[in-house]
Structure 1
Amino acid sequence: MKKLLGLAILVMSFALAACSSNDNNSSETDRDHNTSDNSNRAQEEPTEDSLSDIRIKLSFNKEEVLVRMYDNPASRDFLDQLPLTVTFEDYVGKEKISILQKKLAADNIQSENQPKKGDFAYFSPWGNLAIFYKGIEDATNDLVILGQIESGKEKFENIQSDFTVSIEKVD
């Protein structure tokens, strides 16, 4: 009962955080005039150029998924924790999440990118990993994209229960 109550509180907290953190109240004119802020954020956002050559493998239920990592502080911190074994659960029918034992270095990293199918991400307020198997329309800027799934995106869609994943670097 306590576990179910804790999970309900966790889900509600995430929903409230996602709704309240998305500050899209400024007009397009305000955004255009604030170019220095936009250029600073653009440097922090993952781009195709910031993909690294490092890949990780997620192994679960006799399946393997390959993820190509971005080169950012949170991704490097995550790679330093490998190998890991974590349990993922479904969240809002669009992502699988797992709370890490140790939070990542995600200070001052914010993304205005909306997560899309295949994103491997980190939600800094909760300290959890997220695997997006569907896109999300309203996300928070506390979500840091760690990498992109290169193969096996579809393998997460039909998993209905919690599942254990081994994560390791690929040579």
Structure 2
Amino acid sequence: MKINVIAGDVVMPATLDNSAAARDFASLLPLELTLTDYHGTEKVADLNRTLDALDAPDSYKPAAGDITQYAPWQNLAIFIKPFSAARGLVRLGAFDGDYLALKTPGNVAVRIELAD
């Protein structure tokens, strides 16, 4: 499933995985979120609920450009840099190309929506 992450006038296409968690995330769209910087490694925002991750592995090792949920904190986590495996981290999908607009320091307001 294709989505767009939009920051200002920059559209960053991404593809969601074919998983229960990704489909659950897609059901929440469109979303308007403010992504905050988390240790220069990821941008995060609260989703206010845990996604359906029954078919997900116990842990996941994210790559740069991965879109995930950290289930224990119920947050969306978009990785700017690779990171070590973490229990409770569930991959939702990844960017199809450049996501430079998210690599800027500080907060980034985004709209996440299904692509046409």
TM-score, L = length of structure 1: 0.63
1:97–1:131: 8 Å Cα contact kept in structure 2? yes
Larger strand fraction of residues? 2
Match of 1:85 in 2: 32
- Secondary structure of the residue aligned to 1:151 is coil
**What are the equivalent positions in structure 2 for 1:4-83 lying under 5 Å apart?**
54-83=1-30
Is it true that 1:155 corresponds to 2:104 in the alignment?
no
Query: For the aligned residues, what is the CA RMSD?
Result: 1.5
Alignment partners' CA distance in 2, 1:85 and 1:154:
19
- Which structure's residues are more often helix, by fraction? 1
2:44 pairs with 86, 90, 97, which one? 97
Note if contact 1:98-1:128 (Cα within 8 Å) is conserved in structure 2. yes
Cα distance between partner residues in 2 of 1:143 and 1:122: 6
Q: Residue 154 of structure 1: CA displacement?
A: 2.8
Q: Which residue of 2 aligns with 1:164?
A: 109
Show the counterpart of 1:23. Answer: none
1:115 and 2:62 correspond: yes
> Alpha-carbon deviations, 1:26-69, whole Å to 9, x = none?
xxxxxxxxxxxxxxxxxxxxxxxxxxxx1100111221111101
Larger radius of gyration: 1
How many residue pairs end up in the alignment? 116
CA contact (8 A) 1:123 1:129 kept: yes
Q: Which residue of 2 aligns with 1:9?
A: none
Aligned residues with identical type, % of pairs: 32
C-alpha distance after superposition, 1:90-140 (max 9, x if no partner)? 00111101111333112352254410111011111011111111101x231
Report the 3-state secondary structure (helix = DSSP H, G, I; strand = E; otherwise coil) of the residue aligned with 1:85: strand
Distance 1:77 1:119 in 2: 17
In 1, the alpha carbon distance for the partners of 2:35 and 2:59 equals: 25
Unpaired segments of 5 or more residues in structure 1? 1-53
In structure 2, stretches of 5+ residues that fail to align are none
Equivalent position amino acid for 2:87 in 1? N
2:89 aligned residue? 143
Are the counterparts in 2 of residues 133 and 154 from structure 1 also a CA contact under 8 Å?
no
Partners of 1:113 and 1:123 in 2: CA distance: 10
CA distance in 2, matches of 1:80, 1:116: 24
